[in-house]
Amino acid sequence: MAADIPSFTLNTGYKMPSVGMGCWLGPAGHEETVEQMCKTALEVGYRHIDTAAGYFNEAAVGRAIRASSIPRADIFVVTKLPNGDHGRVAASFAESLAKLGLDYVDLYLMHWPQAAGPDGATIPRGTSPTFVETYKEMEKLLATGQVRSIGVSNFSVKNLDELLSATDVVPAANQVEVHPCLPSVELMQYCESKGILVTATRLWVCRPKEYDGKPVFLEDPDVVRIASDRGTTPGQVALSWGVQRRTAVIPKSENAGRIKQNISLVTLSADDMSTMDAIHKKPGLHRSLLRYHLNARMAPCLGGRTRTWDGT
């Protein structure tokens, strides 16, 4: 049975469940883990799965979906165009769809505004294919019926402005780093004013003890207190805050207990919401947490490179 959580209606009219399973596990080679975590997620009520060509696990996601007895129409599947494929959108999308083994994708995102050349290096801004050119190719996919909605990821207000002024289809979603340490208020307001749903990535950002000792929001005393008041965990407070401020959230977990926990939202009071909104104003807490994500498995992503698969 689907979990009892809200859905958001996209500007295309399609509904996206507010909590999804994030599927980024770093470099290729974790297909079995992803398949199992998606199967568990679907069993406990997730109906939204977030993957990407650059996560190297679309086939595993597709296997998990097909292995479930859940009708395809009840599952919201997101995948993304990799940076290196901005010049071959239709072919890259066809490859993703074939790997997923599905007839259509619910939401297809441009993973990053920056295109990359064959050597993986970012192409300078303004050089073809620009993100406007790439997005126009994505717009054409809508007519095929194989993509229900298109959108972007990691787009700033500046880039969204440029995109909107040069294209016809307003992105249904913008998937970006948003969490209590980086509430991205200006971007959120901009997206809301244009009818673009924000999907928040990195709400969890790993269990803090695995990292360099700097505080992260899961250990913040206010978050811990709200969790205790609500009889829940700091993580569930963070996810509930995300959904209540109208972002979709896509926590990744391989742990069956946490997979289940992450889709159990609580209702936060107005005071709780204000407290959560202000976490990033505390000394040392306002920041991107991109680097916090790296654990032993992610480390090879950085070997000799300055970027991980997600460009961080």
Ligand X SMILES: NC(=O)c1ccc[n+]([C@@H]2O[C@H](COP(=O)([O-])OP(=O)(O)OC[C@H]3O[C@@H](n4cnc5c(N)ncnc54)[C@H](OP(=O)(O)O)[C@@H]3O)[C@@H](O)[C@H]2O)c1
Among 12, 79, 134, 175, which residue interacts with ligand X (rule: CB under 6 A)?
175
Q: How many CB atoms lie within 10 A of CB 162?
A: 17
CA distance 276 to 269: 11
Find the shortest distance in angstroms from Cβ 143 to ligand X.
25
Q: Between residues 37 and 97, which has the closer beta carbon with respect to ligand X?
A: 37
- Determine, following the binding rule CB under 6 A, whether residue 23 of this chain makes contact with ligand X: yes
Please, what sign has the CA dihedral across residues 217, 221, 226, 231?
Answer: positive
Contact between 30 and ligand X (CB under 6 A)? no
Nearest residue (beta carbon) to ligand X: 22
Size of the site for ligand X (CB under 6 A): 27
The reply to whether 17 sits near ligand X by the rule CB under 6 A is: no
**Cβ at position 130, least distance to ligand X in Å:** 19
Phi-psi region of 240 (alpha: psi -120 to 50; beta: other; left: phi over 0): alpha
32 near ligand X, judged by CB under 6 A: no
- Is there a catalytic annotation at residue 55? yes
Among residues 254, 274, 299, 302, which is the contact residue for ligand X, using CB under 6 A?
254
Positions that interact with ligand X (CB under 6 A): 22-24, 50, 111, 153-154, 175, 201-207, 235, 250-255, 258, 261-262, 293, 310
Catalytic residues: 55
